């Protein structure tokens, strides 16, 4: 059995206090929210913080305020279960409700938070292993070593961004508030991510995410399709988050963001631009889906064969767009969507 290493747990009651404690303890400290990703990672010695600053006792991080008309503010401590079931989210931001509802298992969604999901560590077959496993093949540069075992000639780490909610939030044009010892700042979700498997977050280590801000719905419709081996609890090996703003049946704006194909969620603007000014016909959808597959460059470091995941980008983006257009969808349904849902939309 893998055991947690010893650590000191601090339980601040206010977000400012959490930021101050993080700054005070520097590199030896980390934030923990639900702990569903961090604790297993600590058991495998991927992280060895001496101090954990727990966010669970901070009531203000659990709020959901606002409306679809003016935009929603969601506290980083809101659990994925609550998010998926919240009436305003489920009705007006169904892509986010779906993404939250297909993260791992019900137990983990009851504990796991939105803040933890947007900050979740990148993943790789050579890294998400026990300490002994990693030691036996030689450590890699993400922890304890100095080379990449997937691409030995590479000077960077290619671990995969594996959050389900991040591509959806990006496609919705969401923003988030970061709080650090010097105060807070608001940034687009897109600015939180860097295409680097190790330094994958563009925030200071002593900044915490306090709130996620969803824009007013304003005619946008969005959906999320997730590819994984087992529908019951696996991480995504491909995510397709698609948002369109329709006037009648003409697409006036679009955003398409892929998950799990790089160390960051990957926006594919050329594919989105190809839809603007077009009716969402099967032909226009296929053109956009073909363009989306180009920048999708999964590597051979997570589940399922990487060229299959690349091929499925085209299929999943097309299915997502067909769902938004109300066209029949052939083949598998997206995780979290029942056959009846699809029939009702078709
Ligand atoms: C078996 C299994 C299956 C999983 N499947 C999926 C899946 O399908 N999809 C998916 O997206 N995830 C999956 N996860 C990962 C995880 O359960 C979720 O991402 C969850 O939402 C993480 O939230 P948490 O609150 O538990 O984060 P924690 O584990 O507490 O933290 C995760 C990371 O985020 C940081 N962090 C947490 N909150 C904040 C904050 N407010 N500000 C700044 N940093 C913060 C922590 O320091 C840590 O680095 C899975 C995990 C397991 C063990
Ligand atoms: S991509 Fe390379 S450096 Fe990064 S975790 Fe995998 S093996 Fe390690």
161 lines ligand 1 (CB under 6 A): no
Query: How far apart are the CA of 299 and the centre of ligand 1, in A?
Result: 22
Token pair in block for residue 97: 């409700």
pLDDT digits (tens, 9 = 90+) for 235-287: 999 999 999 999 988 999 999 999 999 999 999 999 999 999 999 999 999 99
Q: Which atom of ligand 1 is nearest to the CA of 39?
A: 29
How confident is residue 343, by pLDDT bands cut at 50, 70 and 90? very low
Token pair in block for residue 110: 């009851």
Stretch 319-331: mean pLDDT, rounded? Answer: 90
SS3 assignment for the chain: CCCCCCCEEECCCCHHHHHHHHHHHHHHEEEECCCCCHHHHHHCCCCCCCEEEECCCCHHHHCEEEECCCEEEEECCCEHHHHHHCHHHHHHCHHHHHHHHCCCCHHHHHHCEHHHHHCCCCECCCCCCCHHHHHHHCCECCEECCCCCCCCCCCCCCCECCCCHHHHHHHCCCEEEEEECCEEEEEEHHHHECCCCCCCECCCCCCEEEEEEECCCCCEEEEEEEECCCCCCCCCCEEEEEEEEEECCEEEEEEEEEECCCCCCEECHHHHHCCCCCECCHHHHHHHHHHHHCCCCCCCCCCCCHHHHHHHHHHHHHHHHHHHHCCCCCCCCCCCCCHHHHHHHC
Query: How far apart are the CA of 311 and the centre of ligand 2, in A?
Result: 23
Q: What is the pLDDT of residue 232?
A: 85
Q: Which atom of ligand 2 is nearest to the CA of 151?
A: 2
Q: What is the pLDDT of residue 336?
A: 52
Q: Which residues pair with 8 in a beta bridge?
A: 51
Query: How far apart are the CA of 102 and the centre of ligand 1, in A?
Result: 13
Q: Rounded distance, CA 329 to CA 114, Å?
A: 30
Q: Are 113 and 79 in contact (CB under 8 A)?
A: yes
238 lines ligand 1 (CB under 6 A): no
Q: What is the pLDDT of residue 334?
A: 57
**Region of residue 104 (phi > 0: left; psi between -120 and 50: alpha; otherwise: beta):** left
How far does CA 336 lie from the centroid of its chain? 16
Give every CB contact of residue 164 below 8 A, 6+ residues apart in sequence.
99, 100, 102, 103, 117, 224, 226, 236, 239, 259
pLDDT digits (tens, 9 = 90+) for 91-105: 999 999 999 999 999
Does residue 147 surpass a pLDDT of 80?
A: yes
Q: Are 258 and 268 in contact (CB under 8 A)?
A: yes
Query: How far apart are the CA of 319 and the centre of ligand 2, in A?
Result: 31
* Number of the ligand closest to the Cα of 156: 2
pLDDT digits (tens, 9 = 90+) for 180-201: 998 999 999 999 999 999 999 9
Token pair 């671990």 is at which residue? 159
Q: Which atom of ligand 1 is nearest to the CA of 108?
A: 17
pLDDT digits (tens, 9 = 90+) for 34-50: 999 999 999 999 999 99
If one residue of 48, 112, 205, 336 were mutated to test the ligand 1 pocket, choosing by the most ligand atoms within 8 A of its CB, it would be 112
Query: Using CA positions, which residue lies closest to atom 17 of ligand 1?
Result: 36
235 lines ligand 1 (CB under 6 A): yes
Q: Rounded distance, CA 2 to CA 346, Å?
A: 48
Query: How far apart are the CA of 159 and the centre of ligand 2, in A?
Result: 5
Does residue 339 surpass a pLDDT of 50?
A: no
Query: How far apart are the CA of 346 and the centre of ligand 1, in A?
Result: 34
29 lines ligand 1 (CB under 6 A): no
159 lines ligand 2 (CB under 6 A): yes
Q: Which atom of ligand 2 is nearest to the CA of 124?
A: 6
Residue 27 burial (CB count, 10 A): 9
Token pair 């087992």 is at which residue? 230
What mean pLDDT is reported for the chain? Answer: 94
Backbone dihedral angles phi then psi of residue 35, each to the nearest 5 degrees: 75, 5
139 lines ligand 1 (CB under 6 A): no
Query: Using CA positions, which residue lies closest to atom 8 of ligand 2?
Result: 140
265 lines ligand 1 (CB under 6 A): no
Query: How far apart are the CA of 137 and the centre of ligand 2, in A?
Result: 12
Q: Are 223 and 257 in contact (CB under 8 A)?
A: no
Q: Which atom of ligand 2 is nearest to the CA of 149?
A: 7
* Number of the ligand closest to the Cα of 262: 2
Does residue 131 surpass a pLDDT of 70?
A: yes
């Amino acid at each position: 059995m893998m055991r947690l290493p010893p650590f000191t747990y601090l339980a601040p009651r206010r977000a400012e206090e959490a930021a101050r404690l993080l700054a005070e303890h520097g590199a030896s400290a980390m934030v923990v929210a639900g702990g569903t990703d961090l604790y297993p990672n600590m058991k495998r010695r991927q992280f060895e913080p001496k101090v954990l600053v727990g966010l669970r006792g901070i009531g203000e991080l659990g709020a959901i305020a606002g409306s679809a008309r003016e935009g929603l503010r969601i506290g980083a401590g809101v659990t994925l279960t609550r998010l998926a079931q919240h009436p305003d989210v489920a009705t007006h931001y169904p892509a986010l409700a779906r993404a939250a509802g297909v993260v791992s298992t019900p137990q983990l969604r009851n504990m796991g938070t939105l803040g933890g999901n947007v900050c979740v560590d990148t993943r790789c077959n050579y890294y998400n292993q026990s300490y002994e496993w990693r030691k036996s093949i030689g450590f890699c540069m993400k922890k304890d070593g100095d080379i990449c075992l997937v691409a030995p000639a590479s000077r960077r780490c290619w671990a995969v961004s594996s959050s389900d909610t991040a591509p959806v939030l990006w496609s919705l044009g969401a923003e988030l508030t970061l709080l650090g010892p010097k105060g807070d700042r608001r940034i687009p979700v897109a600015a939180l991510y860097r295409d680097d498997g190790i330094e994958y977050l563009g925030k200071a280590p002593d900044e915490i995410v306090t709130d996620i801000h969803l824009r007013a719905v304003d005619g946008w419709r969005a959906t999320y399709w997730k590819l994984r081996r087992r529908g019951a609890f696996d991480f995504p090996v491909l995510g397709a988050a698609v948002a369109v703003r329709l006037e009648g049946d003409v697409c006036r704006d679009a955003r398409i963001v892929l998950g799990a194909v790089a160390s960051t969620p990957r926006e594919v603007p050329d594919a989105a631009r190809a839809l603007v000014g077009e009716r969402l016909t099967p032909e226009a959808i296929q053109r956009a889906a073909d363009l989306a597959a180009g920048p999708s460059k999964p590597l051979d470091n997570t589940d399922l064969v990487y060229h299959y995941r690349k091929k499925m980008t085209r299929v999943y983006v097309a299915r997502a767009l067909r769902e938004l257009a109300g066209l029949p969808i052939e083949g598998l349904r997206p995780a979290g969507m029942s056959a009846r849902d699809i029939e009702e939309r078709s």
